[in-house]
Amino acid sequence: MAIYPEFTEDGVVVRCSTFRDRMWNVIFVDGSYLTIGLLTLAFSLICRQLMTTKKKDRLPPSPGIAIPVLGHFYLLDEDLRITFKRMRKTCGDIFFIQFGSIPTVVISSYSNIKDGFMSSNMFLARPRLFMLDKITNGGKGILMAQGEDWKVHRKFSLSTLKQLGMGKNKTVQSIHLEAKAFVEELKDTKGEPFDPSAMISSHIANIICAMTFSERFNYSDPRFQKLLKMFEELNVRSTASLANFFPWIAKLPGKFTGVEKMKGHVKELFSYIDDIVEEHKTRFDENNLQDLTSAYMHELRQLEKNAITTSVMNFTYLTSVITDFFVGGIKTTSSALSWCIVCLVEHPDIQENICDQIHACVGRERMPSMEDKTDLPLVEAFCMEVLRVCNVPAILLHSTSCDVEFKGYTIPAGCMVLPDLVSVHKDPEIWGDPESFRPGRFLDEQGKVINKKEFLPFFVGKRSCIGESLARSELFLFVSCLLQNFIFENPKDEAVTVKSVDGQFGIVHEPKPYRIVAKMRK
């Protein structure tokens, strides 16, 4: 026989005979802790719902319903330029999308990007993405670092590169050496069709090698080829990159996701660079600091001598800094130079005008130098137009470290923020005819280069590219040296254009593989 609890009602003992009566007795008569707990839970859930609704109401507009797990992935095109352009028409210049588990705000138009990134510090943080965390050793280095770590290493890198002559004599010598080697390799093609991408990557990589650890590799060197292959496979368009937005993918069994393969490449890459650092230790000379690695070691020894133990600088971080220089310095510049060749082939009239200026001002007896820059404005204007039209780089990753009020919206802490540079570089109100390839838009009536404030390939603000000077020098000297010696043409029955080789739109916008012909100028 069941025994039910009792309670008093007007002094009379009443036996509970129903489930409702029993619950009433437990919850409301005994003054149970369960009462307090349940009421607190209910109140918390209601408050949370109200706060969430209020926060959502203050988010930028969204293009549609975010599906659980997927978010807005079902609305994305393979080419995010198309996606952002379509969503901008629907939602305006600032809109919210959910990349899987990553809340994201996209900011378009020059005025908004200027206000958000140039005039304030509200978007200085970097998003924590699963695979990028693996590649950057937990956000170390410069590209994805944050807070004090980022400030210290950015300041060190900028001052060191300046001391090493970035964009000046020493760096120019390295660029000249690689440009000359590239010219010799092109001669060996003897007018036959070829794909220039591997050559370009190897020479740009050697410039970074010289700058970071004073070493140059032969193109056929197996170690060098392995290094380039690892960087090639560490690209954000791989299947494994989906784990950035769906971290649970990394836990799936099997090898089809590619996550374990990418982790292996990262581990091997760090090990490779660690070996280089160890070699530097054996031949370190504090009176002869010729590269970034030796300069970093010198800084570590100074900290040790002064018994400073609070610095964020250490050998583990050095490996990440070197890796960042390779990641940031090879892919973007190689892609830009590849696009330069595409545009030269597509616009033979522009190619000939530039060549005429080079031959008139420099001649053919010596290689062009940075001192010739003011006399060769067509080269610089051409390179600027390539960067504008071909969107290099394509996407820059930023984030909020706290709730941010921007343009009437609340962007929550930890939200990824993407500046839409295409919206600036293809804005008809700024450029008039943005879809046309016209280098002359960067020249004034006297033929001198105009530096337009809306030209943002190296971005703006404190997170702007620290290698801008180097990249500009590389493009200027490579294009000048190539056009001094060669005519670039389509192979027979093939047409290379920006449209025909329009590549994958990711962090870096690369052209699809293509072939061209390089004929020696007579």
Same domain, 263 and 329: yes
Same domain, 37 and 92: no
SS3 415: coil
Same domain, 163 and 14: no
Amino acid at 338: S
Same domain, 44 and 97: no
Question: 418 pairs with which residues across the strands?
Answer: 106
356 or 506, greater pLDDT: 356
| Whether the Cβ atoms of residue 175 and residue 209 lie closer than 8 Å to each other | no
Q: Is pLDDT of 19 > 80?
A: no
Q: Is pLDDT of 29 > 60?
A: no
Question: 79 pairs with which residues across the strands?
Answer: none
Same domain, 52 and 95: no
For residue 64, tell me if it sits in a domain. Answer: no
- What domain count does the chain have? 2
Establish whether the linkage from the previous residue to 393 is cis, with ω within 30° of 0. yes
User: Comparing C-alpha atoms, which of 447, 455, 438 is closest to residue 382?
Assistant: 438
The radius of gyration of the chain from alpha carbons, rounded to an integer in Å, stands at 29
What is the signed CA dihedral for 355, 357, 359, 363, rounded to 10 degrees? -140
Q: Is pLDDT of 513 > 90?
A: yes
Same domain, 18 and 157: no
Phi/psi at 69 (5° precision): 75, -55
Q: Is pLDDT of 400 > 70?
A: yes
Residue 52 sits in which domain range? 6-57
Classify each residue of 391-421 as buried b or exposed e, where b means 16 or more C-beta atoms within 10 Å of its C-beta.
bbbbbbbbbbeeebebeeebbbeebbbbbbb
Same domain, 117 and 257: yes
For residue 299, tell me if it sits in a domain. Answer: yes
Same domain, 504 and 453: yes
d(CA 487, CA 431): 29
Task: List the helix and strand counts (H, then E) for the chain.
Answer: 17, 10
Average pLDDT over residues 169-173: 80
For residue 125, tell me if it sits in a domain. Answer: yes
For residue 62, tell me if it sits in a domain. Answer: no
Same domain, 298 and 246: yes
Q: How confident is the model at residue 419 (pLDDT cuts 50, 70, 90)?
A: very high
Q: How confident is the model at residue 57 (pLDDT cuts 50, 70, 90)?
A: low
For residue 287, tell me if it sits in a domain. Answer: yes
For residue 474, the model assigns a pLDDT of: 95
For residue 65, tell me if it sits in a domain. Answer: no
Q: How confident is the model at residue 297 (pLDDT cuts 50, 70, 90)?
A: very high
Tens of pLDDT, residues 322-351: 988 888 888 899 999 999 999 999 999 999
Same domain, 125 and 25: no
Same domain, 32 and 79: no
Same domain, 275 and 394: yes
Q: What is the average pLDDT score of the chain?
A: 85
Most confident of 49-58, 76-85, 386-395, 426-435: 426-435
238 or 447, greater pLDDT: 447
For residue 336, tell me if it sits in a domain. Answer: yes
d(CA 491, CA 191): 9
CATH of the domain at 500: 1.10.630.10
For residue 266, tell me if it sits in a domain. Answer: yes
| Whether the Cβ atoms of residue 16 and residue 25 lie closer than 8 Å to each other | yes
d(CA 32, CA 23): 11
Mean pLDDT check: name the lowest of 54-63, 169-178, 285-294.
54-63
